[in-house]
A and B are shown apart, each in its own frame.
Chain A
């Protein structure tokens, strides 16, 4: 079966995990595959991001719609060299372009899932009380939990599909698994920090709606986690 050519036809093929599609992307270094993945990431994540920010008004919705795909692209950009090297060193036979293609594909699948879930989260947001209303603190927590579950669900599902792809295309299944988990660890590590730099997304009660905080490069995600743990620890 020939691989689908248009973006609209690619979505179901990507979700079904059609081997012909990824084989054509891997073997033929055409720009089209990168363009299709980029379009899917922007469309899916922007739509979902819009539904996250909408609770704090249209301005915040627009900001999050821009920032959510930006996290993915910045993470991929910063990890490109590292992912390529790890793919080679771990013996998967997957170099720089292939690792980028795989990760873009994984994030594209995740974005498609998020985009498909965004009407649900949009509906949930519309049913939540406005920030500042009585009980808004607990609603803020519920909103945070809802989106964490949704994003985690989409991420796990997409990366599970990606793991199958990487194992098939790597020189050995074992090397493919190692490369996949190395890429995943790198993406999680850097992605967490970039999301910290690009905060706010959920706007904690009492804080202003802004595109970026006045100190986006002050501190790191891991320092914040460390000090939070240290503060709750009796030691």
Chain B
């Protein structure tokens, strides 16, 4: 048996437009199995997210997948928002889910053009609908993971009275969940034929920055305030959180230390 080409063998077929060979070992860039129902889309989003991207690019019913991804995103973020709202109750029980859903969808919307352009700069040749699907997949996957974290958030929101602590916890969890979503964006980009992902790295930074700033723009998402939103006072999220941290530390210094506070 030799590796020499056999002249009788027909030439190999041309490479398809989609790079099936570049599939990710975790995702599986292949046709979606099991239909477009909601449980299957959720299952595939967790197990084989690239099969959704494949179907978005090739199938007729890509719009159905897109709608379901959007539905999963909204439902997940509403559940997570409700849990976040239990920290303050009152009007925050409905305001927090509303702000989280609208803030994240708005962040996605304003980052969508740059995602498309940056993906094109990286050599990607895909439908605009697929790029919208990648973005929806990012938000839906992050939202599903946030639902997974919801019991943990409830535990801390019931235990702590510190807005700053809970704020940092939520931001950290968001970064972790968004990290999984952003990995999906990279895998999708490579599977769709991107040759240079450096542009996507920049986009990921921009997306994270926008979502983090959105938490300050739509404040208060946790805690209470006289105003539902505070668009007048403009602040960068880093300086806002630094102010919060310093204010709370000084306040704590003034309080008497209670017995058993540092005991296990």
Contacts and interface: CB of A to CB of B under 8 A. Distances in A.
B12 interface: no
A196 B264 contact: yes
A203 B264 CA distance: 7
A172 B25 CA distance: 10
A207 B46 contact: no
Nearest to A93: B47
A223 B162 contact: yes
B160 A85 contact: no
Interface majority SS (helix, strand, loop, mixed), chain B: helix
Given A172-B25, A202-B264, A224-B261, A217 B158 contact: yes
A177 to B, nearest CB: 14
29 contacts: A77-B151, A79-B151, A79-B152, A81-B148, A82-B148, A82-B149, A85-B46, A85-B148, A86-B148, A91-B26, A189-B152, A193-B156, A196-B264, A197-B155, A197-B159, A199-B260, A199-B263, A200-B260, A200-B263, A201-B264, A203-B263, A207-B259, A207-B263, A219-B161, A220-B160, A220-B162, A222-B165, A222-B169, A227-B252
A127 B156 CA distance: 39
A219 B264 CA distance: 13
A78 B160 contact: no
Contact of B165 (A189, A202, A220): A220
B263 A91 contact: no
Contacts of A85: 46, 144-145, 148
In which size bucket is the chain B interface? 20 to 34
A23 interface: no
A81 B42 CA distance: 14
Contact of B145 (A89, A223, A228, A230): A89
Contacts of B119: none
B96 to A, nearest CB: 19
B94 interface: no
Size range of the chain A interface in the assembly: 35 or more
A96 B160 CA distance: 29
Interface of B: 25-26, 46-47, 141, 144-145, 147-152, 155-156, 158-162, 165, 169, 180, 249, 252, 258-264
A90 B262 CA distance: 36
Contacts of A88: 46-47
A67 B33 CA distance: 46
Interface of A: 77-79, 81-82, 84-86, 88-91, 93, 172, 175, 186, 189-190, 193-197, 199-204, 206-207, 213, 215, 217-220, 222-224, 226-228, 230
B151 A224 contact: no
A162 B25 CA distance: 24
Nearest to B28: A91
Nearest to A223: B165
Given A78-B155, A218-B161, A175 B260 contact: no
